[in-house]
Amino acid sequence: MDVTFMGVEPRVHRGVSWWRYRYRAVLAVLLLPSLLLIGVFSYYPAVRSLIGGFYQWNGFSAPTYAGISQFRQYIQAPTFGIEARNLGILVGGSVLISLVSQFTAAEIVMHMPRRAATAAKYVLVLPIVLPPLVLIEVWAYLLQPGSGLIDRIFGAVGLPQPTWFSDPHLALVGILLVGFPWISNLGFLIFLGGLQNLPKDVLDAGRLDGLSAVRRVFAIDIPLLMPQFRIVVILSGIFAVQNFIPILLLTNGGPGTATLVPGLDMYQSAFQNDQYGYGMAIGTLLFVAMLIFTLIVMRALRPRTN
Partner 1 sequence: MGRYRWISLLGGAVIVVLTYFPIIFVVSNSLKTGRNIFSSGVFSLFTQFNYQNYSTAWSGVSRSLVNTVIVAAAAIVLGVAAAALGAYAFSQLRFRGKELLFVAYLALLLIPSTLTLIPLFLTIQKLGFFNTWWALVLPYAASAQPLLVLIFRGFFDQIPNELLESARTDGCTEAQVLVRIVAPLTRPVLLTGAILVTINVWGDYLWPTIVIQDPHRTTISAGVQQFVSSFGLNVSSGGSVFAAFVIATVPMFVLVGFTMRYFVSGLTEGATKL
The interface with partner 1 within residues 105-164 (CB under 8 A) comprises 105, 108-113, 116, 120, 122-135, 137-142, 144, 147-149, 152
Binding residue (CB under 8 A) for partner 1 from 203, 257, 294, 301: 294
C-alpha to C-alpha distance for 249 and 140, rounded to whole angstroms: 9
Q: Which of residues 213-252 bind partner 1 (CB under 8 A)?
A: 213, 231, 235, 238, 241-242, 244-245, 248-249
Shortest Cβ 245–partner 1 spacing (Å): 6
- Encoded one letter per residue, x for contact with partner 1 by CB under 8 A and - for no contact, window 162-201 reads ------------------xx-xx-x--xx--x--------
Omega into 255 within 30° of 0, i.e. cis?
yes
DSSP for residue 26: H
Shortest Cβ 290–partner 1 spacing (Å): 6
Tell me: does residue 4 bind partner 1 (CB under 8 A): yes
Nearer to partner 1, 81 or 193 (CB): 193
Q: Which of residues 65-84 bind partner 1 (CB under 8 A)?
A: none
Angle CA 246–109–120, to nearest 5: 70
Nearer to partner 1, 150 or 168 (CB): 150
C-alpha to C-alpha distance for 133 and 146, rounded to whole angstroms: 23
Tell me: does residue 305 bind partner 1 (CB under 8 A): no
Beta bridge partners of 55: 65
What is the C-alpha R_g of the chain? 26
> What is the full DSSP assignment across 198-235?
S-HHHHHHHHHTT--HHHHIIIIIHHHTHHHHHHHHHH
